[in-house]
Amino acid sequence: MTRATYTVLFYIKRTKELKDGSVPIFARITVNGQRAEFGLQQSIKPDEWDLERGCAQGFSKNAKEINSYLSLVKANLLLQKREMDEKGKHISAHGLKNSYLGIETDTRSILTVFREHNEKCKLLINIDFAPGTVERYITCCKHVENFIKQKYRRDDMCLQEITPMFVNDFEFYLKTSCKCCHNTATKYLKNFKKIIRIALANDWMKSDPFSNIKFHLDDVDMDFLNEQELNTLMEKEFKIERLQVVKDIYLFCCFTGLAFIDVKNLTYADIEFRDNRQWIKKRRQKTKNWCHVPILPPAIRLMDKYKDHPVCQKRGCVLPVPSNQRMNAYLKEIADISGIEKNLSTHTARHTFATTVTLANQISIEVVSKMLGHSSINMTKKYARVVDDLINRDMQKVYIKYDAVLAN
């Protein structure tokens, strides 16, 4: 473990001149580049201060008393540092200052606060937090723990030690050691920022290391199946049961727009008959918004296919949905076998519904937004892309107009 760098210097604050023309003397402790300052309840005339040596100049009685006091402060600070070393305490500028001044310090550490937050979140699963959100906080806490061990060779750090440099180095660690893409790293930083906000709100920290840090997410163009690829997948039959089941669940999502967790939790209680049609009426787990989706014939056939499946009978669910991890792994295999050169995941089915199944068939974006359970159309625009066939159809009137002009 590297030894801490430690210095103490004294200076005067010329901007805080007292009534008698003197200025206060301050001490500055620096440990590993971090500073802590405090007043000494001593003052001196500016022209009596030696700026280079950091002490009173001359041999007057006042100068000797001040320099003697400064030497005593320096010796006591060194004594406090040695005591902290002997007790195995981590040496920091703020910790040393508080120890010298006899100020009781809060011993909370960043990982302690983070873990307390996560334990509370676990108790609020499906009340205030989705399981995936809690899992992301737990993963973020592990990343912070591993980062501290790798960077600082320690098991934890005091809250006061979390600086803007710590945040920047943590982001670098996420992108290099953890191989996180920019958006993933940014989401973990947002999780970490929430813990810092908790510490600031409880006055456990004095400064916000995120104060000058702005977050931005890169736009991601998510893959989706076009009509030809969707038909290819519908016609493809797999002899391996696990692949066939995953393919059918994926297609069901393509024709309903349900997210993975919503189709996994889908029961027949979420389905109702209206106008001689079956509808899915369900609150989305992620946003708690209602989605209203008429069930298309391909999706109805899939529901009927798995109605008597043992998993569906046992769980009371509509489809035998495996874990998201297995779904995504098997979808990669399905894409390879089917000759679909796209990175399929459970989420691409939702994009396929928004783009190929609805928007390309002239369903208005307002209706698509309602079916997806979005709070605003702006969110839907990220899902539904204008495909070439739709552009060609809408431009047909323009073609006809200018063909007529040229003919005349």
Q: What is the pLDDT of residues 48-87, one digit of tens each?
A: 999 999 999 988 999 999 999 999 999 999 998 888 888 7
Of 9-18, 40-49, 227-236, 286-295, give the lowest mean pLDDT range: 286-295
Residues 6+ positions from 128 with CB-CB distance below 8 Å: 121
The span from the CA of 291 to the CA of 257, in Å, is: 9
Checking if the pLDDT of 1 tops 50, the result is: no
**Contact assessment for residue 107 and residue 94, using Cβ atoms and an 8 Å cutoff:** no
Higher-confidence residue: 35 or 244?
244
The span from the CA of 46 to the CA of 55, in Å, is: 11
Query: Which residue, among 153, 145, 83, has the nearest Cα to 110 in the 3D structure?
Result: 145
The span from the CA of 95 to the CA of 161, in Å, is: 10
pLDDT band (50, 70, 90) for residue 393:
low
- Give the dihedral of Cα atoms 284, 287, 289, 292; nearest 10 deg: -40
Mean pLDDT of 229-249: 95
pLDDT, tens only, 180-221? 999 999 999 999 999 999 999 998 888 899 998 999 888 777
- CA-angle at 239, arms to 235 and 240, nearest 5°: 115
Checking if the pLDDT of 117 tops 60, the result is: yes
**Contact assessment for residue 51 and residue 59, using Cβ atoms and an 8 Å cutoff:** no
Does pTM surpass 0.75?
no
Cα dihedral 50, 53, 55, 56 sign = negative
Percentage of residues in the chain with pLDDT exceeding 90?
60
pLDDT, tens only, 339-389? 999 999 999 999 999 989 998 888 888 898 889 888 888 878 776 665 556
Domain ranges of the chain: 6-101, 110-201, 227-393
What fold characterizes domain 227-393? hpI Integrase; Chain A (1.10.443)
What phi, psi does 183 have (nearest 5°)?
Answer: -65, -40
The span from the CA of 119 to the CA of 178, in Å, is: 24
Average pLDDT taken over every residue of the chain: 89
- CA-angle at 374, arms to 369 and 379, nearest 5°: 85
Instruction: Give the pLDDT confidence score for residue 107 in this predicted structure.
Output: 64
Instruction: Give the pLDDT confidence score for residue 386 in this predicted structure.
Output: 56
The span from the CA of 66 to the CA of 24, in Å, is: 12
Instruction: Give the pLDDT confidence score for residue 388 in this predicted structure.
Output: 57
Instruction: Give the pLDDT confidence score for residue 262 in this predicted structure.
Output: 93
The span from the CA of 176 to the CA of 171, in Å, is: 9
Instruction: Give the pLDDT confidence score for residue 359 in this predicted structure.
Output: 86
Instruction: Give the pLDDT confidence score for residue 304 in this predicted structure.
Output: 95
Burial 32-48 (b: 16+ CB within 10 A, else e): eeeebeeeeebbbeeee
The span from the CA of 329 to the CA of 344, in Å, is: 9
